[in-house]
Structure 1
Amino acid sequence: MNGEGRDVGPGARESRPPSGTPLARRAGVALYEEVKADLTRRLVAGESPPGVKLPSEASLAQGYGTNRLTVRRALADLARGGVVRTEHGVGTFVREPSVRHRIDDGQGSLSESMAERGLSVVHQVIEVTEEPSATGPPEFPRWPGATVRLRHRRSLEDTPWSLSEAVLPAALAPRDWDGTESPFTRLTRDTGIAVRRARRSFSADAATADDARWLDIQTGTPLLIVTGVNTDAEGNDLAHIQHHTRADRTEYVVNLLV
């Protein structure tokens, strides 16, 4: 895999082409609609699990006894409906379901939030660096002394979900953090300090080559950028966080009536 897109080499999952038997035509129904309906039926039945690459347009056209333009139109409709996703130059994939994530549940760790729902979270440590002082935008917390930057990839259910970064005072940072738990779960275990999400802002951006490499997507793919601050129970700033999250896998939920 490289920074230009997902790995579709020998290890990539791919479904078998459909049967070579052409569709039985129905009067008054466009052929692309019949292809779309049959593909939908097959995907709903679970013939191709989420994340699996579909056969090429040429293979599908041959199987259905039609042309590539008809198949392309059917796939475009399925993509608009959120059934599949297309990566230009790579192929069409069965879309993985979005992960609904409540950010007002009082947790300081996404891992804890997801574990409560029975989902597995894996952290892959990319780098841990120490800096002489906190630097960043105006909203970035300013702590005296050195800070530590923790950069890691989070995967949900074995699929890359976010490229994440946390900056916190060196005195609080878990120096030997190995990713077996979130940095904030580890911080609480080491210090007894309860971590809380305090402030969050949301924006959108296109994936860079580095984002694409770690998130298993193409460069330019839409991302949700989450930036914010975590605090202790008294409201003291503990960490600045930023997540580059796959937009196709994420749905943030906030309860405004709390």
Structure 2
Amino acid sequence: MSLAEDRAKPGAGTLYKTIRQDIERRILTGEWPPGHRIPFEHEIMARYGCSRMTVNKALSELAQADLIERRRRAGSFVRRPQFLSAVLKIPDIRAEIGALGRTYGYQLISSMRRAANAGDRERLGVKKPCKVIAIRCRHSADNLPFAIEDRLIDLDAVPDAAKADFKVDPPGSWLLHHVPWTEAEHAISAIVADEAIAQGLGIAVGAPCLVIERHTWRQGRPLTAVRLIYPGEQHRLVARFRGSE
């Protein structure tokens, strides 16, 4: 169905509201899915017989409602939903995406076992020589990149990780189901995407990204260190906690 089939009708309110409601309905019913390009302003003007100011007002309200995003010179697109993550627990990304009603996807990019180098030991927080497995993988939701994961596992602390099939099992999910931990730390920061990150996440070079760095320990012994990079525009963090009574 095209917008031309829904021209403003008498009694439907002001024209910009009709345009906004027509577009909003298509987004909320799924007729126009996330990433779908909204007709250009001049196309909407022609279909409704209205001014650019009227169209701009309708699109501005849709953008303010986080239903669309307007990109300079590219047009307007249905906004992709923001994903929520708790920061006071260790989430299972696979379960997290499934809980959103989305289809989870996983790709192992690289996996390497090696003697820990100085950078590995510093990242894990260990001083003595040890063996590690270094894993890089990508998580997706509905075939869209969700996060890039860069993880180190201390094989001396988690020897069973050497037998795990990380081509099938995401490392975070495997660890949560097989390795108990007693302490964890999250560090949250923001970066802009370089070429490698942009390619991995399907975003533009220089686009904002959210970074979560997590360390876990068992009785003071380091288990794993992971760096998760998310597209900034599609992800936000949520924490709920109680004050003292």
For the aligned pair, the TM-score class normalised by the smaller chain equals: 0.7 to 0.9
Structure 2 SS opposite 1:256? coil
Deviations 1:88-135 (A, max 9, x none): 454432223222222334x46332455566654322112224564141
Alignment gaps of 5+ in structure 2: none
Deviations 1:130-177 (A, max 9, x none): 564141797752352343321111112432111121122255454774
The answer to whether the aligner puts 1:121 opposite 2:104 as a matched pair is: yes
The equivalent of 1:207 in structure 2 is: 193
Call closer, same or farther: CA 1:113–1:74 in 2, change over 3 Å: closer
Call closer, same or farther: CA 1:81–1:244 in 2, change over 3 Å: same
The equivalent of 2:70 in structure 1 is: 86
Structure 2 SS opposite 1:135? helix
The equivalent of 2:171 in structure 1 is: 183
- Candidates 11, 14, 19, aligned match of 2:4: 19
Give the TM-score, by structure 1 length: 0.73
Give the total of aligned pairs: 238
Kindly indicate which of the two structures has a greater share of residues assigned to helix.
2
The answer to whether the aligner puts 1:248 opposite 2:233 as a matched pair is: yes
The answer to whether the aligner puts 1:148 opposite 2:136 as a matched pair is: no
In 2: Cα distance, 1:159 partner to 1:124 partner: 12
Call closer, same or farther: CA 1:26–1:210 in 2, change over 3 Å: farther
The answer to whether the aligner puts 1:225 opposite 2:211 as a matched pair is: yes
In 2: Cα distance, 1:197 partner to 1:76 partner: 46
Q: CA deviation at 1:58?
A: 3.2
In 1: Cα distance, 2:120 partner to 2:64 partner: 38
Compare CA radii of gyration and give the structure with the larger one.
2
The equivalent of 1:194 in structure 2 is: 180
Task: Using the aligned pairs only, state the percent identity.
Answer: 22
In 2: Cα distance, 1:162 partner to 1:187 partner: 18
Q: CA deviation at 1:198?
A: 0.6
Call closer, same or farther: CA 1:134–1:75 in 2, change over 3 Å: farther
Call closer, same or farther: CA 1:243–1:188 in 2, change over 3 Å: closer
The equivalent of 2:223 in structure 1 is: 238
